Amino acid sequence: MVVVTGQNKVSGNPDDAMSSSDAEDDFQEPATPTATQAGQALPLLPQQFPEVVPLNVGGMYFTTRLSTLRRYEDTMLAAMFSGRHYIPTDAEGRYFIDRDGTYFGDILNFLRSGDLPPRERVRSVYKEAQYFSIGPLLDNLEDIQPLKGEKVRQAFLGLMPYYKDHLERIIEIAKLRAMQRKARFAKLKVCVFKEEMPITPYECPHFNSLRFERSESETKLFEHH
């Protein structure tokens, strides 16, 4: 096969002609893009950050020191601004984090001076602390209300046998009772008792089949829902 270019004329000499395999080799694309092909799309790593870092978190603007973002080494923010990862910037040159910035100020206040958010924002800030993997902030938030009460509640429910297994059934019965009474909510009493010997999951009784005799003098049986 003879390859024609815009600058060189084709010679009639067979030695000047290129074979198909030679042409394919000359025009084969490189396996990885070169620096020229990559252009200016991404800067070369590691990325350098200024001492004072402007941030754009979901459209909300913040300014903080680089050392604040790196306060705890095992957090996502420390990893993001370690220089090992590329962070895009907006039109004003602020480093962009694609996250709702409503509670990001509380995150920065903790990293700066250990300040904790007010009680009404504890749950929301806890969720952000989970996303950014800020372990010290999570530990502090778990020791204040309302998360402390929830932590105790979950620990208590963890001691109740088969609670999680039957939680959907409990909710179903509560909804049915509320509908029957045409009420906005229904209350259920869950009886928890300790057995002499633990039973296996295969011996777990069904909720609808449990019946308890209240006392020897009373013959009325109470169905356990």
Residues 15-74: tens digit of each pLDDT: 554 444 454 444 444 444 444 444 455 555 578 999 999 999 999 999 999 999 999 999
Residues 138-165: tens digit of each pLDDT: 999 998 888 888 888 888 777 777 777 7
CA–CA separation, 219 vs 217, rounded Å? 6
CATH number assigned to the domain comprising residue 85 = 3.30.710.10
Q: How far is CA 78 from the centre of its chain?
A: 17
Query: How many domains is the chain partitioned into structurally?
Result: 2
Is 4 within a domain? no
Contact by Cβ (8 Å): 125, 103 = yes
Which residue range(s) make up the domain with 184?
160-214
Whether residues 133 and 56 fall in one domain: yes
Is 80 within a domain? yes
Asked which of 108, 123, 152 is the last residue of a domain, the reply is 152
- Angle in degrees, CA 222, 224, 225, rounded to 5: 135
Residues 85-125: tens digit of each pLDDT: 899 999 999 999 999 999 999 999 999 999 999 999 999 99
β-bridge partners, 211? 223
Q: What pLDDT does residue 151 have?
A: 83
Whether residues 64 and 95 fall in one domain: yes
Whether residues 115 and 170 fall in one domain: no
